[in-house]
Structures are given as structure tokens and as C-alpha cells.
Structure 1
Amino acid sequence: MTRIIADISVSLDGFVTGPDPGPDNGLGTGGEALHTWAFSDDPDDRRLLREGTARSGAVVLGRRLFDVVDGPGGWDDTVGYGAGEVGRPAFVVVTGSPPKSVRTANLDWTFVTTGPADAVAAARERAEAASAVSGKDLDVVLMGGGATIRSAFDAGLVDVLILHLAPVVLGSGTPLFTGGTPRTLVQRSVISTSTVTHLTYDVR
């Protein structure tokens, strides 16, 4: 069964970027501290990264995040989604209008202009097709940014919420939640490592 999983790193004060994020500074000032765990040698961090990317049949992201990863300083053969840990899942971008060109044309990009629900539906189709080929259940992973995850969460599209709670207070930046529709979460796991606390919730 394909699940919709929102998976994102967040500061103790609830931000998924530091202040002043932009195409040349995607994580904002100080935001690199949110992702220290993804580059650590801690065995639990490595295992969770490997497991998380291995289950990705399709990945959803917003246009601002796409502009960062497709920009000149963005993804390449060594840096990218699950680099070194996963193959090449399909990527679905929620956007007002598709870009005129794509630098990372070797990746499978789909641009959806009709909102998060349609983007998630398109990603589910891609993940289910990948599941049929691989013979194992693969999921849709919402990797960000914050506004994309927040809108999907508020719309009731998210089955599982995974937060990587980094030990940093950023003070400002892009908030993960800003109010919206109340949701009940059921805590499924808490794993503390030397760099972060990994929290997994089912969303009701």
C-alpha cells in the first residue's frame, strides 16, 4: 500500500529553513544545521536515511525548492535526494507554471499546476507503478519545502509525518506550521542520535 509521507528536518522553534532563504541560499542563514544528521556517521542516522530513501517511489516538492535543487549550486551526481542511497525516483513539482528549462534533465520531473492534491495524486500513480516493477510497496515522500508540506497536511493528504528535530534554535525562517486545520497525531517512534531526534507520527 502506497502511503503519503511528509519527511522534513525542523528546528526546535519550528523552522525548516533559517532566515533569508533564496535560490543561492536554499536553507537560509544557519539552516545547514538542520541537515547535519543526513551527513553524519551515526549508524542510526545512516540507517534511517537509507530506509527513508529506499521506500521512495515518488517525491513531491514545491517550486521554490525545485529552483534551489535545479539551480547552478544544486543537485549533481554526488549531492541530491538520497545521493548514494537510492536510485532515481520520479519527482513531482507543485508550481504555478512549469520552468522554461531544466538543468537536471537526467531526472524524471513532472510539473503539476493544479495544486497539491493533484500533485500528490500524480506522485501516487508514479509510486504505484514503481511498486509494481520492484515488487515491493513504495511510498510518496513529500520532501518540502515547508509551504508544500503544510498545504498537503492541512488538506488531509498526509498519512505519516516524519520530523528530524535538530538541536538548533534559528529564531526565524520558514515555519513548518502556521495554524491551519487541527490534526491528531499518533506517535509511532522516537529515535535519538548524536545529531538529531527522529520522530514518526501517523496522521489521523
Structure 2
Amino acid sequence: MTRIIADISVSLDGFVTGPDPGPHSGLGAGGMALHTWVFSDDPDDRRILREATARSGAVVLGRRLFDVVDGPKGWDDSIGYGAGEVGKPAFVVVTSSPPKSVRLTGLDWTFVTTGLSDAVTTARKRAEAASSDSGKNLDVVLMGGGASIGSALEAGLVDVLTLHLAPVVLGSGTPLFTGTAPRTLVQRSVISTSTATHLTYDVL
């Protein structure tokens, strides 16, 4: 069964970027500290990254995040979604208008202009097709940004919430939760490393 998994790194005070994020500084001031675990040599950090990317049949992201990762200082062969870990899943971008061009032409991009719910539906179909082709159960991963994940939780689209809680206080930035309707979460796992506390919840 294909699940919808929201997966994002967050500070102790609830921010998914530092102050002033933008195309040339996607994570804002101090925001790189949120992702120290991604580059860690800790065996648990490496396993969590490997397992998360290996289960990805399709990935959903918002337009602002797309502009960062496809920008001149964005992803490359060494830095990107699960770089060096897995093959390349389909990427589905929620946007009001598709870009005129894409820098990362080696990735499979689909641009959905009819809203987040339709983007998730598109991604689910891509993940189910990938599951059938591979013979493995693959999921849809919502990688962000924070507004997209918050909206998905608000709309009841998320089955699993995975937070990588970084030991940093950013003070300001992009908050993960902004007036989200109450949700009941069931804690499934907690794994602590030197760089993060990895938390997984089922969303009811």
C-alpha cells in the first residue's frame, strides 16, 4: 500500500528554515544546521537517510522549494534528494504556473497547477506504478517546504509524519506549524543520534 509520508527537518523551536530564505540561500540564515544529520557519518543517520530515499516512489514539493533546488546553487550530482543513495524518483511540483525552463533536466519533473490534493494524487499514481515495476512497496514523500507539509496535514492528506529534530534554536524563519487544525499522532519510533532526534508518527 502506498503511503503519503511528510518528511522534514525542523529546529527545536519549530522552524524548517532560518531567517530570510531565498533562491540563493534556500535554508535561510543558520538553516544548514537543520540538515547536519544528512551529511553525518553516524550509522543510524546513514541508515535513516538510505531507508527514506529507498522507499520513495514519488516526491512532492512546493514551487518555492523547487526554485531553490533547481536554482544555480541548488542540487547537483553530490547534493540532492538522496544523492548517492538511490535511483531518481519522480518529482511532482505544486505551482500556479510551470517554469519556462528546468536546469535539472536529468530528473523526472511533473508540474501540477490544480492544487496540492491533485499533486498528491498524481504522485500516488507515479509511486504505485513504480511499485509495480520494482516489485517493492513504494511511498509518496512530501519533502516540503514547510507550507506544503502544513497544508497537507491540514487537508488530511498525510499518513505518516517524520521529523528530524535538529539540536538548534533558530529564533525565526519558516515555521512548520501555523494554526494547523488539531491532529492526533501515534508515535511509532524515536531514534537519537549525535546530530538529530528522528521521530516518526502515524497521523490519525
1:115 aligns with 2:115: yes
Query: Normalising by the residue count of structure 2, what TM-score does the alignment of the two structures yield?
Result: 0.99
Shift of 1:24: 0.2
2:141 counterpart of 1:141: yes
Match of 2:125 in 1: 125
Distance 1:9 1:116 in 2: 20
Q: Which runs of 5+ in 2 are unaligned?
A: none
2:152 aligned counterpart, secondary structure: helix
Q: How many residues align?
A: 204
Q: State how 1:79-94 maps to structure 2 within 5 Å.
A: 79-94=79-94
Residue-by-residue CA offset, 1:92-121 (whole Å, 9 max, x unaligned): 000010000000011000000111100000
Q: Distance in 2 between matches of 1:101 and 1:38?
A: 29
**Residue number in structure 2 paired with 1:194:** 194
- Aligned-partner SS, 2:86: coil
Superposition TM-score, scaled by structure 1 size: 0.99
Q: Secondary structure at the match of 2:129?
A: helix
Cα distance in 1, alignment partners of residues 11 and 145 from structure 2? 14
Q: Does 1:69 align with 2:65?
A: no
Deviations 1:161-194 (A, max 9, x none): 0000000000000000011211100000000001
How far off is 1:77 after superposition? 1.3
Distance 1:17 1:111 in 2: 24
Q: Pairwise mapping of residues 24-43 of structure 1 onto structure 2 (< 5 A)?
A: 24-43=24-43
* Aligned partner of residue 45 in structure 1, secondary structure: helix
**Following the alignment from structure 2 to structure 1, what is the Cα–Cα distance between the partners of residues 9 and 180?**
20
Report SS of the residue matched to 2:68: helix
Aligned-residue offset at 1:76:
1.2
Taking only aligned residues, the RMSD between alpha carbons, in angstroms, comes to 0.4
Unaligned runs of 5+ in 1: none
CA distance in 1, matches of 2:178, 2:32: 22
* Contact kept? 2:153, 2:180, Cα under 8 Å: no
For 1:46 and 1:193, locate their aligned partners in 2 and report how far apart those are by CA, in whole Å: 11
4+ residue runs of structure 1 moved beyond 6 angstroms?
none
| Aligned counterparts of 1:77 and 1:171: Cα–Cα separation in 2 | 32
Percent of aligned positions with the same letter in both sequences? 84
Amino acid paired to 1:188:
R
Cα displacement (A) at 1:30:
0.1
